Amino acid sequence: MYTETMKTAFVYSDECAKFDYGSSHPLKPFRLKLTYDLITACHLLSSQDPRLVKPLIARVEDLLTYHTKDYIDILRAVNTGEYVAGAEAYGLGPGDNPVFPGVFDWSRLIAGASLKAADIVDSNEAAIAFNIAGGLHHAHTSQASGFCYINDAVLVIKLLVKRGRKVAYIDIDAHHADGVQEAFYGTDKVLFISLHETGQALFPGSGFEHEIGEGVGKGYSVNIPLPPEIGDELFVHAFTEVVPHLVAAFKPDVVVSQLGVDTFRGDPLAHLNLTTNGFCHVVRMIKAMSSKWVALGGGGYDIANVARAWTLAWAIMNDIDAPEGIPESFLQRYPDAGFLIRKLRDEPFVIDKRKKEGMRKEVDRVIKYIKEQITCRI
């Protein structure tokens, strides 16, 4: 049983926000400090419970539980920010996964924060631990991908499985969690669930409903590809129809979730049209099914949306009603951060009825397939 003095833990340091992918890159680590500062401005981190925990630096041995030695060696070699011959074979270079000063240090810090969160939860120090910097779910064993260099979600799950835990992984990022799926496609110790915009429209082009695992893992990979522009109602519908039942049947010891918010309206890299209303509904459902919960951040490229959404998620984790308005002192501190909405919560966004009915048919087709192919196996 967790101690009464530490029910939740927020794993964070400003060091997480000090790295820079480059001025033109869509992933801005600064969004992490923006989120932390909004959480503190809303007085959601002002007591012993919840508790702020500084991350540890992941050891190279930790990284090698999933990633190959040659990949770790090349990642260490480019830590200066200078290109090294052959790095492109590992997905490193101009574009999605740039070489920047401290790229290896950044990767170890983020991985260490997620591993710390997992250890806090598994050792019963807290029921919930949230690392907003984590959730870098695209990295592969020997390759950076989709802004992700080290797959901290995989490292967390591997740690927990090694300790004998059954893990349910729930990913609500707009992009398919291909790196995590790949790592656990052949095991029945991990229930993998990813809701995402269809790979027909979005990177990484995978995560179709027929990807259900292999060998003893057949039926333990669950993909819910969604049409673009789906909005809150149908996203929540898809989640509700599939996820709670599967998690209840699997009976995990720990839930690990990736709470990416590139699903939101206005995000420059995806098109799912969610608002804080649908996001918070799903976060509450994850909390309700999780006696032990390791929560990770993820995507989100409108930094104001990121800060608002993860502030609300943290409030939900602590059973606290977040304020309606964003504190004026915070807005004055960050006048150029894009807070066009001066409230934490969005107004509902209504999808055209005819368009929504067409999308509902596709969502229900996927749900029907999953219920026929997956539900009977777990």
List the CATH number of the domain containing 272.
3.40.800.20
Q: State yes or no: is 43 an active-site residue.
A: no
| Given 43, 67, 137, 138, the catalytic residue | 138
For 70-80, what is the mean pLDDT? 98
Determine what percent of the chain is predicted with pLDDT higher than 70.
Answer: 97
Residues 87 and 92: their CA atoms lie apart, in Å, by 5
CA dihedral over 260, 261, 262, 263, signed as positive or negative:
positive
Is 136 inside any structural domain?
A: yes
Q: What contacts 364, CB < 8 A, 6 or more positions away?
A: none
Alpha-carbon distances of 247 from 83, 166, 231, 293, rounded to whole Å: 44, 11, 24, 13
Number of domains making up the chain? 1
State the pLDDT at residue 3: 41
Is 150 inside any structural domain?
A: yes
Is 2 inside any structural domain?
A: no
For 293-313, what is the mean pLDDT? 98
* Collapsed DSSP state (helix, strand, coil) of residue 226: strand
Which pLDDT band holds residue 303 (cuts at 50, 70, 90)? very high
For 131-155, what is the mean pLDDT? 98
For 253-279, what is the mean pLDDT? 98
State the pLDDT at residue 347: 96
For 263-289, what is the mean pLDDT? 97
Is 106 inside any structural domain?
A: yes
CA dihedral over 149, 140, 27, 302, signed as positive or negative:
negative
pTM value surpassing 0.85? yes
State the pLDDT at residue 377: 74
Is 1 inside any structural domain?
A: no
User: For residue range 89-122, what is the model confidence (pLDDT) as tens digits?
Assistant: 999 999 999 999 999 999 999 999 999 999 999 9
Only one residue has tokens 């930790």, namely: 62
Token reading at 272: 């799912």
Is 3 inside any structural domain?
A: no
Alpha-carbon distances of 298 from 23, 25, 88, 216, rounded to whole Å: 20, 16, 24, 29
Domain that holds residue 43: 8-377
Residues 159 and 256: their CA atoms lie apart, in Å, by 12
For 130-157, what is the mean pLDDT? 98
Tally Cβ neighbours within 10 Å of residue 301.
Answer: 22
Is 279 inside any structural domain?
A: yes
Is 256 inside any structural domain?
A: yes
